[in-house]
């Protein structure tokens, strides 16, 4: 049946894109992520990482347990910038700027 099989909804990454990345030798989960763009959108891999990791394990012929998760970075959910602006850690009296300036 013709048509796209979407593996990463946020970035419109198809199964074909993932397979192509692996064929080129970019087969580590972090490389597949960067090369295809999966997991870099608004959901940051929540829906797709486990699924794609399993595909990577199969296509690259390795044990599932050897495939690492890609690095999880803050914030876990998209957060408006205004929530951070009054955090005391950002106090300008901390002396932002260096002598190099």
- Report 4-63 residues binding other proteins (CB under 8 A): 4-7, 9-12, 14-17, 20, 22-28, 30-31, 34-35, 41-47, 49-51, 53-54, 57, 60
Q: Is 80 in the site for other proteins (CB under 8 A)?
A: yes
Q: What is the Cα–Cα distance from 90 to 84, expressed in whole angstroms?
A: 8
Number of residues that bind other proteins (CB under 8 A): 75
**Helix 29-36 × helix 15-23 angle, to 10°:** 120
Q: What is the Cα–Cα distance from 58 to 53, expressed in whole angstroms?
A: 9
* Shortest separation between residue 96's beta carbon and other proteins, angstroms: 5
């Amino acid at each position: 049946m013709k048509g796209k099989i979407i593996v990463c909804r946020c970035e419109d990454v198809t199964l074909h894109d993932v397979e192509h990345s692996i064929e080129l030798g970019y087969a580590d989960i972090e490389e597949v992520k960067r090369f295809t763009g999966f997991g870099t959108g608004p959901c940051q891999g929540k829906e797709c990482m486990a699924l794609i990791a399993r595909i990577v394990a199969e296509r690259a012929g390795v044990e599932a347990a050897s495939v690492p998760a890609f690095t999880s970075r803050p914030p876990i959910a998209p957060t408006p910038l205004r929530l951070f602006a009054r955090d005391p850690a950002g106090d300008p009296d901390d002396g932002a700027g260096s002598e190099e300036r």
